[in-house]
Structure 1
Amino acid sequence: MPRENWRRRGFWILPRNHSINTICKFSTSVMERAQELQENLVSQSPSFTKLMLRSHVSGGFWLGLPTRFCRLHLPKEDKIMILVDEDEQAYDTRYLAAKNGLSGGWKRFSQTHDLVEGDVLVFHLIKLCKFKVYIVRARKLTRVDGAISLLNLDCHAMPIDAEKDKTILLSETTEGIKFKDVKSFATVLDSIIPAHLREKYYELCCSQNMFLHDSLIKGLNSILVTGIISETIIIADAIRAVKSTTPLDRLESWDNTLKAFEDLGMVVGFLRARIQKLITLSNNAQAIIESKTSERDEAVEHMKSLMDKLVNVRELCRKLDAEIEYHTAEKGKLDSVFMEISGASW
């Protein structure tokens, strides 16, 4: 039995000294869900899956990573490796390059997420030293499991009858289906859309209580439709992250993109309305800044004019001081003249 079986996108890890019988004792559905999740990740970023053994989640708390993956994608020296969970919480771990594994910090991650033997983790390398980690539970359903398995978003709801849960592809129509009757991602989306985007799109649809793509022009290529939906989700996330320092031209670019989608029938008016509010707010703030800047420039020019006048006045004062000093001295020379005039005979 080879140690590693390479998949099309990433790796399925068979731990050393574990026979196929040992692996089979874990639920096949867990592996299948993990593989399906991995298949739906962005293909440009590498990923691998890892079956949790007892040594990974208890005792020494050491997690070895696939050697080939480490050699191709990870640093050659020891680094802090960040693990980001499904709730966007980040955990620092110590990556030991010589041993191709995680040590310090892995115990905290494992215990915080209650990992047990048989769980399967999907590691998605989103940055050089940062993994997005998806947990597929061996014994209970997680939010990601629900998304990938196309189940109800509410993990506490009753399971959906497989006979009633019919997938409607993007290339088909949603005519006649009421959005309130939708119980799964499958009713809205193809599996062609990555799982992490499906959940966000479902939330957008829920916010408007309708299919956002329902009025798209009939006959559009499914890849184009997928691109429209994906870009809409990306722009929606970007809008959420807007700050006062976000360039105005970026907001306008998003609005132009959404306008093109709207022309094709995509329901994005609520996103464009949000962008317009942000643009108006930005324009108003910029108008105030420009107005005050203009006033400041006028004040500076006025100050320069006053400074020039002040220089002239100072020069005039200097000249007048010199003249006063001169005439004061001349007045002293008039004493003899005064005496001559005052003592003259009548």
Structure 2
Amino acid sequence: MTDRTVYLNSFEHKQVFAIRDIAKICGMKSAEKVQANLDPRFPSFVKALTSVTCGCVRIPAEFCSLHLPKHDFALTLVDENRAEYLTTYLHRRKVLSRGWRSFSTAHKLVKGDILVFHLVKDATFQLYIIRAYSGLSAIGGVVGHHGLDSHPNQTSMCKDIKAKEETCKRGRKRLKTALRAVRQPPTVEKSRSDNEEFGLVVLKRVRLSEKTLEFKDMKDLDSFTIAVNGLNIDSKFSKNDREKYYELCRSQDTFLHDNLREGINIKLAAGAISETVDIADAIKASKLSSPQEDFAAWEKSLGVLEKLGMNVYFLRARLQQLFRVAFESEVAADSMCYRIAIGERARVEEEIRTVEDKLSELKTTSKRLDAEIEILEKRARFHELKYQTEVDSPW
């Protein structure tokens, strides 16, 4: 095996795993879209499975404290076919335990699958499943697979997603093929369509122009052009995304995609640029109350983009600074105390409602007893008078 072959295989290997990481990100975005369309009157959360062998699944502590009882209880899971699975919620461990393994086995869950939990009743979760790596097709616009149509607003979306299930399966098959391909040396005869399909190296590229574009040549937005491998890919972006990407490039006075790996798949490159814009928007829209999980997801995504060659160092630096302010300072302590106080107030308000309900019930009972006592008192007086009459009668 030549040095060139070793280099190509190594590069292909990295690209395939970069595709897999982006697929996971797309899968999480699909889950968030599903969650956004759920009935907001009922709480929900998104859970990515990190293991399917332990026989239980952990529920976020914040969700438990706000929406679940403070004791163990039986909880029902409802799948896409309306089948019900009884599980046990363990309050101290914040997990679904007994019965979870049956649900996991029945639905063939694997590590990487993403679940959307929707608490439609006090003790009933409706579950939506986004399969691992179904997000691979999301790069081309396909949202993954999920289950139930519990809310009217979701009906059309659910039908569309189910109709595209086969496309998602083909996406997973392409990923497996790509993983096998990295073990074999590439051949020049491999078609360009195959290379673009799997995100592998395009050995022969067709360039529209041999002139290298530099950002300093871009005088304004109208002259701004996004080129990868010498090809203009402006058409792959909306006007809004193109404007936002131009502003990001202008802030750093360079094309953020200048260092993308040579020969990278065009669709993958466009996806990386769009992801960069989305993360920048998300960071700008973040609040002090934004959950720590969001920061972790953004950092992971930026890490993947950096491996692909995107210049996102300035975004990572800003994200780390915001993280320190939000979670590693006096501000973080105050914010944590605030969230705890909010949760405690919710608990106290719930107890007040319980006591008020009990008091109302006791008042109703008291009024009923007053009416009964009044009737019985009249009867008692009548019987007492009758008795006294008998006592006073002559011998």
The two structures have a TM-score, normalised by structure 1, of 0.36
Higher relative contact order (Cα pairs below 8 Å, separated by 6+ residues): 2
Structure showing greater radius of gyration is 1
The two structures have a TM-score, normalised by structure 2, of 0.31
